[in-house]
């Protein structure tokens, strides 16, 4: 037995108990006649003491030679600490060591294994197994486990059946790029790693499974950012014989359960917002509604003067920044520089101060009088003491730019409290979106999404106007889940493929198995998939997902710890019938 107790459980009630502990040396303090060692495991830290009056010379020498991260086992007696540490759960006691066994020596780590470490992110990713020893990462992984267990428990109690689906599937042309896997046994042919188990869960509904879920790895070969990895985990769910309202109620229940059990937060309201309203009021389809600053469209009150910047714009739109009139001119100039960064792309920003005395002072006073500016304040909801920020340009671009500014201002103003949770359903997405490069429509979600009831005929006359029977669940400005009611008959699915530019032959080659299945009695069905990584991060009060993933990739999609991806040797290439044609 390596240990009788862990390093986080001993208390004053254990005094005079003989114990055996094992773990890593966090640090040691050598006073010559006495040595204190902090011993750490997953559960906490216990202080060990070696005293020359009660410890043999050989053991004192061993204790003095202990280095950081040495793996040791000790036996000893629990005694009361002379100087108690109220900041440690084990701070009332220490172990007077009677036996020391060094299980493994360790090199000095490349960074300190402390909550506030001196290691940069890339270095810590290279030595991730060391980083996991630190409390922030360790606790994040334990937190993820807790969330995952609550998901499984809740869905199981609600009658969902967990079913595994294949990882080696067929490549499809929709969505992001696939990761492909060559098949040795089928020369010149490839599997793809699934971007989601979409068609399989639909086939499970055809198979009568009724309520399915799976906590599943998915793969997308796309550009990365803080909340995106090439491999990610979904809570994938599907239900049969349901309508949209059934789906929303089911997964409101799951989200409410997680917030209560994991965070101790009761959330009753899950407001619903149309996609068009989200874009008009917030400039994106995943708005953070923990704070205001809704958009005010100013065309009617700003395009009647001789200011050509506004007159030539498709959209003039502004937001009111609470208390923003306190900003200095230098601070406002920095905001203007911020929106002009390439990542945002605005050409500039007009501003208007709302003075406490009810007057206004703008950067375009040459063109607009006090009555004009009062109308700006009315449209944006600005009050005395606020600042109005105005952008103009092409509608979609300027909405995205102002959305980015809104989020940046909210961050600076401390309006995005991670302990406050504001869920929101976004409804009625467009079914299709036009792609300028390919000059054809693409499915906004995926080609199996059903149009809203009664809109199927619009596909023939105005495809861009058709709304999808789709929905996203947003939490604190992040999309945590999305889904739709699926097409469940062959004729409608064939029509959808047609409008997406598939020939009948292409549709059959790619999705013939699904079309065939629909001929054998497919029930009405729909579902939703949560992004587990992102959900866990938000519940854990973080914006980025890396600390909640045991072994994440960096922004280039590389695992710097194991140095992957990596070349394979010529023998493997030959066996797979592959020949490299590398760009110089």
What is 376-392 written as a DSSP string? HHHHHT--TT-EEEEEE
Pairwise CA distance, residues 350 & 316, whole Å: 10
Residues whose CB falls within 8 Å of the CB of residue 173, separated by 6 or more in sequence, listed in order: 510
- Give the pLDDT of residue 314: 97
Give exposure, 503-532, as e/b (b: 16+ Cβ within 10 Å): eeeebeebbeebbebbeeebebbbbbbbbb
Pairwise CA distance, residues 113 & 198, whole Å: 42
Binding residue positions for L-aspartate: 174, 220, 445, 486
**In a structure prediction context, what are the per-residue pLDDT tens digits for the chain, which is 584 residues long?**
899 999 999 999 999 999 999 999 999 999 999 999 999 999 999 999 999 999 999 999 999 999 999 999 999 999 999 999 999 999 999 999 999 999 999 999 999 999 999 999 999 999 999 999 999 999 999 999 999 999 999 999 999 999 999 999 998 765 678 999 999 999 999 999 999 999 999 999 999 999 999 999 999 998 766 668 999 999 999 999 999 999 999 999 999 999 999 999 999 899 999 999 999 999 999 999 999 999 999 999 999 899 999 999 999 999 999 999 999 999 999 999 999 999 999 999 999 999 999 999 999 999 999 999 999 999 999 999 999 999 999 999 999 999 999 999 999 999 999 999 999 999 999 998 887 777 777 888 888 999 998 888 888 788 888 999 999 999 999 999 999 999 998 888 888 888 888 888 988 888 889 989 999 999 999 999 999 999 999 999 998 899 999 999 998 899 999 999 999 999 999 999 999 998 86
Binding residue positions: 174, 220-222, 229, 445, 479, 486, 531-534
- Give the pLDDT of residue 178: 92
Give exposure, 106-132, as e/b (b: 16+ Cβ within 10 Å): eeebeebbeeebebeeeebbbbbebbb
Binding residue positions for ATP: 220-222, 229, 479, 531-534
Pairwise CA distance, residues 358 & 382, whole Å: 11
User: 565: cis peptide before it, omega within 30°?
Assistant: yes
The count of other CB atoms within 10 Å of the CB of residue 76 is 21
Pairwise CA distance, residues 558 & 565, whole Å: 6
330 φψ region: left (φ > 0), alpha (ψ -120 to 50), beta (else): alpha
* Two tokens, residue 167: 């990882």
For residue 91, give the DSSP letter: T
């Amino acid at each position: 037995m390596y240990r009788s107790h862990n390093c986080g459980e001993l208390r004053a009630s254990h005094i005079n108990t003989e114990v055996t502990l094992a773990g890593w040396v966090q640090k040691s303090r050598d006073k010559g006649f006495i040595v204190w060692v902090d011993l750490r495991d997953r559960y906490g830290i216990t202080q060990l003491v070696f005293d020359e009056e009660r410890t043999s010379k050989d053991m004192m020498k061993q204790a003095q030679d202990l280095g950081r991260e040495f793996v040791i086992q000790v036996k000893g007696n629990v005694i009361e600490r002379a100087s108690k540490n109220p900041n440690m759960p084990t701070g009332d006691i220490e172990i007077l060591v009677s036996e020391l066994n060094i299980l493994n020596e360790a090199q000095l780590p490349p960074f300190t294994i402390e909550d506030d470490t001196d290691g940069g992110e890339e270095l810590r990713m290279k030595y991730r197994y060391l980083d996991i020893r630190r409390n922030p990462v360790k606790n994040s992984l334990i937190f993820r486990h807790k969330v995952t267990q609550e998901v499984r428990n809740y869905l199981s109690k609600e009658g969902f059946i967990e079913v595994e689906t294949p990882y080696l599937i067929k490549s499809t042309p929709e969505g992001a790029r696939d990761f492909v896997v060559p098949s040795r046994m089928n020369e010149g042919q490839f599997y793809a790693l699934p971007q989601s188990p979409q068609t399989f869960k639909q086939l499970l509904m055809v198979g009568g499974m009724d309520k399915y879920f799976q906590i599943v790895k998915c793969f997308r070969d796309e550009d990365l950012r803080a909340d995106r990895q090439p491999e990610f985990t979904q809570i994938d769910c599907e239900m049969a014989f349901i309508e949209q309202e059934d789906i929303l109620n089911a997964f409101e229940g799951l989200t409410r359960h997680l917030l209560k059990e994991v965070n101790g937060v009761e959330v009753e309201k899950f407001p619903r917002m149309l996609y068009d309203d989200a874009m008009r009021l917030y400039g994106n389809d995943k708005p953070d509604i923990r704070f205001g600053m809704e958009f005010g469209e100013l065309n009617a009150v700003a395009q009647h003067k001789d200011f050509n910047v506004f007159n030539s714009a498709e959209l003039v739109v502004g937001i009111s920044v609470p208390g923003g009139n306190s900003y200095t001119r230098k601070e406002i100039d920095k905001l203007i520089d911020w929106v002009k960064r390439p990542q945002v792309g605005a050409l500039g920003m007009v501003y208007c101060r709302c003075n406490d005395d009810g007057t206004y002072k703008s950067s375009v006073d040459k063109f607009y009088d006090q009555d004009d500016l009062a109308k700006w304040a009315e449209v944006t909801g600005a009050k005395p003491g606020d600042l109005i920020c105005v952008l103009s340009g092409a509608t979609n671009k300027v909405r995205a730019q102002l959305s980015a500014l809104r989020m940046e201002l909210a961050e600076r103003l401390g309006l995005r409290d991670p302990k406050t949770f504001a869920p929101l359903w976004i409804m009625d997405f467009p079914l299709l979106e036009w792609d300028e490069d390919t000059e054809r429509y693409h499915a906004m979600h995926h080609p199996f999404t059903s149009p809203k009831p009664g809109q199927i005929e619009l596909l023939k006359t105005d495809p861009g106007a058709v709304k999808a029977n789709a929905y996203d669940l947003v939490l604190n400005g992040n999309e945590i889940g999305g889904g739709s009611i699926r097409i469940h008959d062959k004729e409608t699915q064939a029509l959808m493929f047609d409008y997406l530019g598939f020939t009948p032959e292409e549709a059959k080659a790619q999705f013939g198995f699904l079309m065939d299945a629909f001929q054998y009695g497919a029930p009405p069905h729909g579902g939703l998939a949560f992004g587990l990584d992102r959900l866990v991060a938000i519940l854990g009060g973080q914006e980025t997902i890396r600390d909640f993933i045991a072994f994440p990739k960096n922004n280039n999609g590389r695992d710097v710890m194991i140095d992957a991806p990596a070349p394979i040797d010529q023998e493997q290439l030959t066996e797979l019938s592959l020949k490299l044609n590398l760009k110089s």
